[in-house]
């Protein structure tokens, strides 16, 4: 039974509540034997932000596809401003005022801003587009954002990701949306763009828009939403005012158990220096980076998108050329190819797991063992049975959910793909983990496991013969860095600043440093 803890639904306050803009009741959907949704009901009022949260596979996307007319439910009813609502296709939903903005933006890059805003909804007379009207409506929509990048004639492909997202929102406003759905809207945004987006959401609330906000970031939910509804296994398991529920309780409802600590931090002991860089510079980024990474610690690198953090890790791993500076990895000195870095005891987890981090057409076992095939058969042969045996260990330890070692890794969920990428580093038994955005695009339960894994790798276990490892971790999510790391450094415009103990710095100070300013007392 769903856990109902809505404090705002008591009878004494009903008269004070705004009218319900969207209501979904008894929505169910099956795909063969799989139950995607079962008797799901949500409602959101005009001028309200409803956060919809749940693990990957909980049913959020299916529910929103029903709302947008992309799929037809097996059962259930919907109302929009009190009138029955059952769109036959997405265009009909848009015309009714329901706008969807997906994590993967659905823009046409070669067209300009005004063409994208009115695409499919162009005003026309006798089959001829009224371009003056298109331009007027586009200007009316984008003036809401006060963004100099957004002009009617700007080519969408030339815009930043944050500005492209605003074009999607402008498209929703241009059609007169009543319900706006934002699916993981901040996953690829800089902190500055996130703040701008939150300001816009605040203004849309004041205009009476009903907003459904889907996110894996619980801190964002607490900040931006009025209410939260939690889905698990295709069912609503709870709904509450955001002000009256703790982040831990939200996570527990999502995963079906109490998560004792999202950011575990065992008693780590920093040992000898295993990675040292001095005034390292690439062709463009980094411009200058110096640090010492010790065995048994997690060192985080914060900074805005484009600051050079990814390029730093890629330079260390041999994927980007080094123009000057010094690198010492264990007993080895100087730049090296990725193959030699693996041999020297360093492994990279790429931020782009689908393009770089995994071979999606290969099996889970092939991906786990790909960097170190020696020992899986005699005379240089690779025996699948031995690969499978090694892989099953990680399937168990990392709770990788799949049919078995031979399942293609491309068919797994994002969270399980990320675990496979981490399993490769563990199987190779590297001493230095270079982690670039290790939790991007995965749900809270998968994040909790990754955090637990990072802590276990850094801490080691002398009784089990596992030596502590060293972890250099890039993340755009400051709460993650503050919770997981022992020390943190900020990269700004290609220059890596000094390291700080996490206990001696706060997020506000790190953000000022990332933007090139000094925090004032």
pLDDT at position 227: 96
Spatial separation of the C-alpha atoms in residues 451 and 480, rounded to whole Å: 9
Find tokens 């009022």 and name the residue: 45
The radius of gyration of the chain from alpha carbons, rounded to an integer in Å, stands at 25
Residue matched to tokens 């002009």: 151
239's tokens: 């709904």
Longest dimension (CA), the chain: 80
- C-alpha 7/C-alpha 419 separation (Å) is 38
Tokens of 146: 């006060």
Q: To 5 degrees, how large is the angle CA 502–CA 503–CA 509?
A: 65
Beta strands 75-80 and 332-333 are: unpaired
Q: Let me know: does 181 contact 68? Beta carbons within 8 Å.
A: yes
pLDDT of 181 reads 93
Q: Given this model, what pLDDT does residue 3 score?
A: 52
Cβ contacts of 68 within 8 Å, gap of 6 or more: 87, 90, 93, 98, 100, 181
Q: Cα separation of 341 and 430, whole Å?
A: 10
| Range list of β-strands (E), 124-184 | 124-125, 128-129, 179-183
For position 215, what pLDDT does the model report? 86
Task: Give Cα 515 to chain centroid, integer Å.
Answer: 22
474 DSSP β-pair partners: 301, 436
Distance of CA 24 to the CA centre of its chain: 27
CB–CB of 445/54 below 8 Å? Answer: no
Residue 340 CB: number of other CB atoms within 10 A? 14
Q: What is the pLDDT of residue 6?
A: 46
What pLDDT score does 46 carry? 95
- The DSSP secondary structure of 51-105, one letter per residue, reads EEE--TTSSHHHHHHHHHTSS--SEEEEEETTEE---SSHHHHHHHTEEEE-SS-
CB of 226 closer than 8 Å to CB of 50 = yes
Planar angle of CA 285, 286, 291, nearest 5 degrees: 170
The sign of the CA dihedral 512, 436, 212, 117 is positive
**pLDDT at 210 (0 to 100):** 96
What CA dihedral angle connects 196, 201, 205 and 207, to 10 degrees? 70
User: Which residue intervals of 350-443 are DSSP H helices?
Assistant: 364-369, 384-397, 414-428
Structure tokens at 235: 């069912």
Residue 260: per-residue pLDDT: 56
Q: Which DSSP letter does residue 353 get?
A: I
pLDDT digit string (tens) for the chain, length 521 residues:
455 444 344 334 444 567 899 999 999 999 887 789 999 999 999 999 999 998 777 889 899 999 999 999 999 999 999 999 999 999 899 889 998 888 767 788 899 999 988 887 788 888 888 899 889 888 888 887 777 888 999 998 888 777 888 888 888 888 788 999 998 887 666 677 788 888 889 988 999 999 999 987 888 899 999 999 999 889 999 999 999 998 878 888 887 765 556 788 899 999 999 999 999 999 989 999 999 999 999 999 998 777 899 999 999 999 999 999 999 999 999 989 999 999 999 999 998 877 788 999 999 999 999 888 888 888 888 889 999 999 999 998 888 888 899 999 988 877 788 889 999 999 999 999 999 999 877 777 778 888 999 999 999 887 777 899 999 999 988 888 999 999 999 999 899 999 999 999 988 888 788 877 544 43
Q: What is the pTM of this model?
A: 0.66
Sheet of 273-282, strands arranged across: 289-294, 273-282, 322-329, 332-333
Bridge partners (DSSP) of residue 273 are: 294
Residue 328 CA to residue 509 CA, distance in Å, equals 30
3-state secondary structure of 238: strand
């Amino acid at each position: 039974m769903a856990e109902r803890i809505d404090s705002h639904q008591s009878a004494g306050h009903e008269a004070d509540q705004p009218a319900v803009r969207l209501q979904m009741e008894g929505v169910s959907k099956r795909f063969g034997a799989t139950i995607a949704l079962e008797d799901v009901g949500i409602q959101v009022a005009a001028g309200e932000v409803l956060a919809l949260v749940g693990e990957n596979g909980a049913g959020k996307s299916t529910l929103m596809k029903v709302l947008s007319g992309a799929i037809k439910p097996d059962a259930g009813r919907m109302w929009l401003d009190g009138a029955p609502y059952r769109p036959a296709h997405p265009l009909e939903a848009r015309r009714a005022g329901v706008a969807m903005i997906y994590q993967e933006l659905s823009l046409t890059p070669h067209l300009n801003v005004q063409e994208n805003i009115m695409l499919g909804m162009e005003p026309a007379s006798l089959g001829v587009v009224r371009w003056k009207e298109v331009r007027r409506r586009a200007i009316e929509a984008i003036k809401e954002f006060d963004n100099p990048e957004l002009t009617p004639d700007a080519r969408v492909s030339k815009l930043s990701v944050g500005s492209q997202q605003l074009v999607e929102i402008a498209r929703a406003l241009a059609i007169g949306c009543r319900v706006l759905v934002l699916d993981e809207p901040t996953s690829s945004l800089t902190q500055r763009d996130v703040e701008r987006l939150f300001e816009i959401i605040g203004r849309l609330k004041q205009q009476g828009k009903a907003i459904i906000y889907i996110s894996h970031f619980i801190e964002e939910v607490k900040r931006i939403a009025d209410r939260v509804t939690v889905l698990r296994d295709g069912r609503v398991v709870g709904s509450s005012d955001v002000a009256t529920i703790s982040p831990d309780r939200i996570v527990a409802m999502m995963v079906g158990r109490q998560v004792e600590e999202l950011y575990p931090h065992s008693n780590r002991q920093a040992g000898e220096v295993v990675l040292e860089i001095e005034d390292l510079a690439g062709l463009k980024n980094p411009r200058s980076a110096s640090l010492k990474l010790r065995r048994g610690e997690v060192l985080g690198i914060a900074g805005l998108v484009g600051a050079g953090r990814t390029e730093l890790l890629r330079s260390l791993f041999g994927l980007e050329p080094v123009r000057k500076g010094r690198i010492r990895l264990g007993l080895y000195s100087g730049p090296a190819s990725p193959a030699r870095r693996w041999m020297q005891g360093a492994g990279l987890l790429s931020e782009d797991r689908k393009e770089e981090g995994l071979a999606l057409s290969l099996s889970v076992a092939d991906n786990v063992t790909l960097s170190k095939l020696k020992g899986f058969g005699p005379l240089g042969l690779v025996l699948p049975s031995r690969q499978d045996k090694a892989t099953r260990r990680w399937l168990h330890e990392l709770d990788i959910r799949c049919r078995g070692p031979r399942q293609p890794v491309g068919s797994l969920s994002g969270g399980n793909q990320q675990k496979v990428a981490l399993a490769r580093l563990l199987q190779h038994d590297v001493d230095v983990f270079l982690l670039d955005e290790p939790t991007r695009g995965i749900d809270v339960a998968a994040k909790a496991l990754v955090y637990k894994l990072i802590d276990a790798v850094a801490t080691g276990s002398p009784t089990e013969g596992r030596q502590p490892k060293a972890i250099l971790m890039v993340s755009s999510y400051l709460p993650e860095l503050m919770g997981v790391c022992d020390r943190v450094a900020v990269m700004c415009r290609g220059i890596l600043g000094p390291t700080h103990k996490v206990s001696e710095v706060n997020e506000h100070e790190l953000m000022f440093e990332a933007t090139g300013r000094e925090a004032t007392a």
